[in-house]
């Protein structure tokens, strides 16, 4: 019966996972998902999906793998680049030499990289990649049910989580999936510093899992799945001081994310756990977040190279999203004492919507801009929140700046909101000149 519902279950060998399940085998780091040679044992002809047939042709795949490691893999250092390429070359030489899970990894990598190109320039069409997430998503359920997974399985789950958050919209499901993957990482010891030296970037994998969960928590409006102590990472400690550099390197941006993880964790926990917030607490956290992130990814520092521009954009968006969320509870009031939160929230929301407006009106081939416009779960929540802040600001200021008298503000249709935002952006653009 399980095979009827799990697309990949048929590729698991009878002598491996199914036998382990029947014997009640505990979790192991030596579980080997189905190697390719077992595929023929379960293929019943044209009625069963041949997963290897999903792989694009070699030149397009290589181009997209390079794109992935030059962009998305910088902030989310899930895979070891050299090891991945060795596995890929081995697969090209002999498809039976690799595990099915690695083929799924390739599909996730290729699908993510493909989305960083404008639609008209994407090496692969959207229909080609549409079914890949559904195919990959059966892996976590199968391995969990079999009570048998390892570090490499978790690495694949991390890729699936990244794919979901970047290209799909289901913030609560993303939160649940990232939490499950985090706890699976704990089961195999990824959270223990003494395992980080065992190779293939285990430290970076655990770091990516925590980061994905923080982003999912921020989008879903839920507290992080691990306590601050359990989620602590950087051996140097969050208290390490660094001087802002006028030109940021890859290591600088990684350091910003690491040093800010503690303050971002505390902010997300506070916003989604406390019933009553004190403005003094918000102001203190704002100062700490700005000192940790804002001084590094503000308007001063610069980066060069497409990969670093992408990384800088991710870190900058992370700072803006967290700062906007921190001040949002106080952004809808006219109290003079809270004017800073209101003005900052309006400015952040305006800049966000203007960026999206430029992407959609003028187009952009920059990788991060394309992911922003994909409306994935990581960014769509920010779009909705920016729309709400802008509309609230319009209602507060109208009709002095924008004429909305002809609009039926009693409705909630999408067209109404788009009309209001369009007028707001027109006013904001004219005011900036």
316-362 per-position pLDDT tens digit: 889 999 999 999 888 877 777 788 898 899 888 888 877 777 776 65
- From CA 342, how far away is CA 333, in angstroms rounded? 7
362 versus 259: which is more confidently predicted? Answer: 259
| pLDDT tens for each residue of 87-97 | 999 999 887 77
In this predicted structure, the answer to whether residue 37 has a pLDDT above a threshold of 50 is: no
Candidates 216, 135, 214; CA nearest to 171 is: 216
pLDDT value of residue 138: 72
Pairwise pLDDT comparison (326 vs 120), residue with the higher score:
326
Nearest to 55 by CA among 96, 110, 116: 110
Instruction: Collapse the DSSP code of 277 into the 3-class scheme (helix H, G, I; strand E, B; otherwise coil) and give the result.
Output: coil
Residues 6+ apart with CB under 8 A from 32: 16, 99
The contacts of residue 375 (CB under 8 Å, 6+ apart) are: 169, 383
Q: Return the number of other C-beta atoms located less than 10 Å from residue 89's C-beta.
A: 11
3-state secondary structure the chain: CHHHHCCCHHHCCHHHHHHHHHCCCCCCCCCCCCEHHHHHHHCCCCCCCCHHHHCCCHHHHHHHHHHHHHCCCCCCCCCCHHHHHHHHHHHHHCHHHCEHHHHHHHHHHHHHHHCCCCHHHCCCCHHHHCCHHHHHHHHHHHHHHCCCCCHHHHHHHHHHHHHHHHHCCCHHHHHHHHHHHHHHHHHCCCCCHHHHHHCCCHHHHHHHHHHHHHHHHHHHCCCCCCCHHHHCCCCCCCCCCCCCCCECCHHHHHHHHHHHHHHHHHHHHHHCCCCCCCHHHHHHHHHHHHHHHHHHHCCCCECCCHHHHHHHHHHHHHHHHHHHHHHHHHCCCCCHHHHHHHHHHHHHHHHHHHHHHHHHHHCCCCHHHHHHHCCCHHHHHHHHHHHHHHHHHHHHHCCCCCCCCCCCCCCCCHHHHHHHHHHHHHHHHHHHC
Q: How far is it, in rounded angstroms, from Cα 402 to Cα 427?
A: 7
Polymer length of the chain: 433
pLDDT at position 240 is: 42
pLDDT at position 429 is 55
Q: What integer pLDDT is reported at residue 319 of this predicted model?
A: 92
Report whether pLDDT(299) > 80.
no
What pLDDT sits at residue 191?
A: 85
Give me the pLDDT at residue 3, please.
37
Q: Which of 143-152, 247-256, 342-351 is least confident?
A: 143-152
Work out the average pLDDT over 264-282: 91
Q: Which of 55-59, 95-99, 207-211, 289-293 is least confident?
A: 95-99
DSSP SS3 for 302: strand
pLDDT at 35: 34
pLDDT at position 267 is: 96
Phi, psi of 245 (to 5 degrees): -105, 140
Tell me what pLDDT residue 367 has.
73
Phi and psi at residue 284, in whole multiples of 5°?
Answer: -65, -45
Residue 302 confidence (pLDDT):
65
78-117 pLDDT, tens digit per residue, is: 999 999 999 999 999 887 778 888 889 999 999 999 988 8
Q: What pLDDT, on a 0 to 100 scale, did the predictor assign at position 20?
A: 33
Q: Do 160 and 137 form a contact (C-beta atoms < 8 A)?
A: yes
Query: Which runs of E-coded beta strand occur in 320-392?
Result: none
3-state class (DSSP) for residue 405: coil
pLDDT band for 246, please (50, 70, 90 cuts). low
DSSP 8-state code for residue 391: H
Neighbours of 45 (CB within 10 A): 6
Quote the CA–CA distance of 328 and 320 in Å, as a whole number: 12
Q: Tell me the average pLDDT across 34-55.
A: 46
- pLDDT of 182 > 80? The answer is yes
Q: Which residues of 11-24 are buried (b: 16+ CB within 10 A; e: fewer)?
A: bbbeebbeebbeee
Compute the mean pLDDT over every residue in the chain, rounded to the nearest whole number: 75
């Amino acid at each position: 019966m399980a095979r009827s519902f799990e697309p990949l279950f048929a590729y698991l060998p009878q002598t491996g996972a199914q036998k382990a399940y029947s014997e009640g085998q505990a979790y192991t780091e030596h579980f080997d998902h189905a190697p390719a040679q077992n595929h023929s044992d379960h293929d019943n002809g044209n009625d069963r999906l041949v997963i290897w047939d999903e792989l694009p042709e070699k030149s397009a795949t290589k181009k997209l793998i390079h794109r992935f490691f030059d962009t998305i893999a910088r902030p989310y250092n899930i895979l070891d680049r050299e090891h991945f390429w060795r596995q890929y070359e081995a697969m090209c030489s002999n498809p039976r030499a690799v595990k099915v899970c690695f083929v799924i990894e390739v599909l996730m990598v290729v699908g993510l990289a493909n989305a960083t190109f404008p639609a008209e320039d994407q090496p692969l069409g959207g229909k080609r990649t549409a079914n890949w997430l559904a195919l990959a998503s059966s892996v976590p359920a199968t391995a969990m049910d079999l009570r048998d997974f390892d570090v490499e399985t978790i690495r694949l789950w991390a890729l699936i989580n990244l794919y979901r958050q970047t290209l799909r919209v289901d913030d609560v499901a993303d939160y649940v999936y990232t939490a499950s993957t985090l706890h699976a990482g704990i089961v195999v010891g990824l959270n223990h510093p003494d395992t980080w030296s065992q190779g293939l970037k285990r430290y970076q994998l655990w770091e990516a899992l925590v980061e994905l969960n923080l982003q999912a928590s921020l989008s879903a409006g839920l507290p992080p799945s691990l306590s601050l102590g359990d989620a602590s990472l950087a051996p140097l400690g969050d208290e390490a001081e660094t001087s802002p550099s006028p030109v940021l390197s890859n290591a600088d941006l990684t350091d910003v994310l690491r040093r800010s993880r503690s303050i971002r964790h505390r902010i997300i926990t506070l916003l989604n756990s406390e019933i009553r917030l004190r403005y003094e607490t918000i102001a203190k956290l704002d100062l700490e977040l700005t000192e940790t992130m804002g001084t590094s990814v503000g308007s001063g520092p610069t980066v060069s190279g497409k990969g670093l521009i992408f990384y800088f954009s991710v870190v900058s968006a992370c700072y803006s999203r967290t700062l906007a969320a921190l001040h949002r509870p106080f952004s809808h009031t006219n109290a003079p004492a809270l004017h800073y939160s209101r003005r900052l929230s309006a400015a952040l929301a305006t800049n966000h919507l203007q960026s999206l407006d430029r992407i959609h009106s003028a187009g952009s081939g920059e990788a991060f801009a394309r992911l922003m416009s994909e409306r994935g779960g990581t960014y769509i929540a920010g779009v909705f929140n920016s729309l709400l802040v802008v509309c609230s600001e319009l209602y507060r200021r109208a009709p002095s700046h924008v004429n909305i008298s002809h609009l039926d503000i009693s409705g909630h249709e999408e067209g109404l909101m788009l009309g209001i935002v369009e007028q707001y952006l027109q006013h904001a653009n004219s005011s900036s000149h």
